[in-house]
């Protein structure tokens, strides 16, 4: 039985937590490292995505990966792939800002599942909308979620953080601060001039629509940019059942 941990590389402690969780689930753990062109929109520069293959092999192996797999584009897409639609939820929030992004994510995950044939796959809550869409789309592979790994000061780990300067990084902290006070999050985010807001919403975890007074499980989701680097984060609101 195999557990798959799909990644785009530039591995950090967040990815490590996923791999460790995978190893608890089964003894065969495949970590895939593939920067998927289909999930980058036209305005995003795929060439700028950090690539650290040698360090990735070490980090993944230390965390318990039994195979670190760097597929080529041709292996994943030997022919024009059938694009999987991400539906309405795929067009909201992250999907509204990055048209086609989630269709690209579902398409690559589908190909990875077809090739590796895992019984389980591990994803991070860090990308909550992605996790939601994958959990709802793939029913034959058990999708296991891992909580977001943060720096000591609250910043969610992300491969994109390497592009932040010291000052950018300090500004980025406004996101995790705002998540601690969901009822005032827009107000708090507005206090940081270096943070450019995309969205800050409280959603219903069941439907991925704006939460209402009767919503049981709520989650705050935030995305924006600091110095051109896109950052996203989310947190449970209140206590979820």
Interface contacts to ligand AMP, rule CB under 6 A: 7-8, 14-15, 17-18, 123-124, 126-127, 146, 148-149, 156-159
Of 15 and 92, the one with the shorter C-beta distance to ligand AMP is 15
Q: In the annotation, is 12 catalytic?
A: no
Expressed in percent and rounded to 5, the helix, strand and coil fractions of the chain are 40, 25, 35
Helix (H/G/I), strand (E/B), else coil: 34: coil
Least distance (Å) from ligand AMP to the CB of residue 213?
30
Query: Rounded to the nearest whole angstrom, what is the least distance from the CB of residue 18 to ligand AMP in the complex?
Result: 5
The minimum distance between CB 60 and ligand AMP, in angstroms, equals 11
Which CB atom, from 115 or from 190, has the smaller least distance to ligand AMP? 115
Q: Tokens 């996790």 appear where?
A: 131
The residues, ordered by sequence, that sit 6+ positions from 35 with a Cβ below 8 Å of its Cβ are 8, 9, 46, 49, 51
Q: How far is the CB of 187 from ligand AMP (least distance, A)?
A: 25
- Both tokens of residue 39? 């999930």
- Alpha helix (H) residue ranges in the chain: 13-25, 53-63, 73-76, 94-97, 101-116, 128-137, 166-179, 185-189
CB 183, min distance to ligand AMP, A: 25
Calpha distance 109→138 (Å, rounded): 9
- Residue with Cβ nearer ligand AMP (6 or 182): 6
Q: Which of 12, 15, 101, 137 is catalytic?
A: 15
118 vs 124, beta carbon nearer ligand AMP: 124
Report residue 32: phi and psi, to 5°: -95, 140
Complex with ligand AMP: residue 126 or 218, whichever CB lies closer:
126
Which residue's Cβ has the minimum distance to ligand AMP?
124
What are the tokens at 99? 């048209």
Report the SS3 class of residue 159: helix
**Nearest one of 160, 167, 183 to 233, comparing CA atoms:** 160
Q: Which residues are catalytic?
A: 15
């Amino acid at each position: 039985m195999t557990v798959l941990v799909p990644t785009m590389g530039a591995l950090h402690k967040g990815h490590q937590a996923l791999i460790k969780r995978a190893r608890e689930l089964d003894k065969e753990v495949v970590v895939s490292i593939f920067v998927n062109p289909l999930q980058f929109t036209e305005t995003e520069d795929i060439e700028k995505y950090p690539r650290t293959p040698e360090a990735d092999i070490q980090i993944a192996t230390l965390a318990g990966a039994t195979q670190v797999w760097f597929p080529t584009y041709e292996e994943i897409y030997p022919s024009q792939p059938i694009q999987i639609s991400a539906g309405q939820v795929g067009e909201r929030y992250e999907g509204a800002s990055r048209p086609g992004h989630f269709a690209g994510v579902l398409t690559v995950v589908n190909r990875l599942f077809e090739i590796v044939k895992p019984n389980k796959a591990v994803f991070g809550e860090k990308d909550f909308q992605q996790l939601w869409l994958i959990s709802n789309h793939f029913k034959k592979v058990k999708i296991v979620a891992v909580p977001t790994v943060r720096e000591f000061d609250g910043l969610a780990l992300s491969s994109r953080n390497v592009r932040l300067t010291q000052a950018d990084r300090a500004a980025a902290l406004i996101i995790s601060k705002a998540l601690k006070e969901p009822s005032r999050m827009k107000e708090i985010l507005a206090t940081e001039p270096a943070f450019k807001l995309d969205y800050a919403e409280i959603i219903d975890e069941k439907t991925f629509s704006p939460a209402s007074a009767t919503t049981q499980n709520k989650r705050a989701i935030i995305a924006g940019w600091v110095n051109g680097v896109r950052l996203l984060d989310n947190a449970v609101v209140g206590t979820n059942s």
